[in-house]
């Protein structure tokens, strides 16, 4: 569970404040990123590599301060989704590695080719 940051009073920030609005925008952007990651997991075999690479680049917002108490439930729900995406990503990596090992095992090994040296040339 997300705990309010040190110094939080336990009273919700008024929705009209810049502080609250900045957090709402940050959570909105993060929810879009999580939704995109969930979609990539669902359709990973269809996504172009550059799209996956762009999704991997994320910078946390700066200078937001403590999460307002009024957004704590939303923040917790978003954290839960992120953790689920991280778990599913790790599981997908394990499955991919297993499939790669299985595919490598099915490839015919290339027989050693005899090498002839023309000693009389």
pTM, whole model, 2 decimals?
Answer: 0.61
Q: What is the DSSP string of 25-89?
A: HHHHHHHHHHHHHHHHHHTTTTS-HHHHHHHH------S--SPPGGGHHHHHHHHHHHHHHHHHH
Per residue in 11-68, pLDDT (tens digit) is 454 555 688 888 999 999 899 988 988 888 888 766 676 766 666 666 777 888 888 9
Per-residue pLDDT tens digits for 1-15: 444 443 344 445 455
The confidence band for 70, taking pLDDT boundaries of 50, 70 and 90, is very high
């Amino acid at each position: 569970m997300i705990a309010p940051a040190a110094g939080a009073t336990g009273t919700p920030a008024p929705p009209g404040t810049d502080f609250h609005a900045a957090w709402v925008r940050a959570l909105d952007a993060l929810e879009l990123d999580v939704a995109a990651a969930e979609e990539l997991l669902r359709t990973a075999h269809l996504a172009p590599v550059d799209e996956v690479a762009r999704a991997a680049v994320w910078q946390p917002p700066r200078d937001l301060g403590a999460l307002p108490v009024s957004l704590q439930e939303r923040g917790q729900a978003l954290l839960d989704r992120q953790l689920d995406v991280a778990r599913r990503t790790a599981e997908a990596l394990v499955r991919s590695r297993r499939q790669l090992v299985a595919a490598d095992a099915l490839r015919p090994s290339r027989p050693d080719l005899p090498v002839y040296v023309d000693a009389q040339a």
